Structure 1
Amino acid sequence: MNSATLGYRSARMSAHPNELDRRRIVRGLKARRRYRYVEPSVVDVDGGYRIASPCCSRNIDAEGGIIDVALLLFEPENEIWRLFWKNHKTGTWELHSVHVRLASILEQLNMDDERTFWQ
């Protein structure tokens, strides 16, 4: 690999998080079906974004504290997004699905018919 290729790979690897996509996620979450009256937060993490929100259902946190909702990680080598849900019983992130576009993750999060994310 030459230095030009390494520079390109390095730029791609550091593409996330970025302010533009963080704002796209914040804006996109406004179309969600569940808990539309609370303001989720989108936090930058290494390689992506973590979404957290007040626990309105009180199923996870009886006091309504802030809980993790989803983790979005970009894999630059394959140019895919990995969407994780929080298993609150074990305290671990579990892979939910793989996406090519950020928009399809937002659709998944906003529909959430199974209440996987918005508990």
Structure 2
Amino acid sequence: MRLPAHPNDLDRKRIERALKSRKRYRYVTPKVHATKGGYRIESACCSRNIDKEGGIVDIALLLFDEEQAAWMLFRKNHGTRMWELDSTHPRLVELLDLLNADAERRFWQ
């Protein structure tokens, strides 16, 4: 029986470091949590767009698909409270670049 590649502490720390170079909401400290098959990112809602009280909201879900050997990036639809697939990437670094830029404010709302 083979152990799953994700989550692991090395990549979790890598994601935490990468998030320091994001373009939006730089004044909050997001948290990266291990979840089955990947990582979930949450942060305080400073804009008050999602949570009027400024509570903790989901930002992104990163899952590794072992069959496709690809990373799937999900964004939270806060209206339906469901994760929606945003994009698929062959490497984690490409996913993190997109998440950090977030030009369309799909994640850091």
Residue 73 (structure 1) aligned to one of 54, 59, 63: 63
Give the number of aligned pairs.
Answer: 109
Partner of 2:49: 59
For residues 103 and 24 of structure 1, what CA distance do their matches in structure 2 show? 9
Moved over 3 A (4+): none
User: Rg larger in 1 or in 2?
Assistant: 1
For residues 92 and 60 of structure 1, what CA distance do their matches in structure 2 show? 14
Question: What is the TM-score when the length of structure 2 is the normalising length?
Answer: 0.98
Q: Which has the higher helix share?
A: 1
Once superposed, what is the RMSD of the aligned Cα atoms?
0.7
Extract unaligned runs of 5+ from structure 1. Answer: 1-6
Question: What is the TM-score when the length of structure 1 is the normalising length?
Answer: 0.90
For residues 33 and 57 of structure 1, what CA distance do their matches in structure 2 show? 14
Partner of 2:91: 101
Pair 1:32-2:22 in alignment = yes
Identity value in percent = 61
- Per-residue displacement from partner, 1:39-83 (whole Å, max 9, x unpaired)? 000000000000000001000000100000000000111110100
SS in 1 for 2:42: strand
Extract unaligned runs of 5+ from structure 2. Answer: none
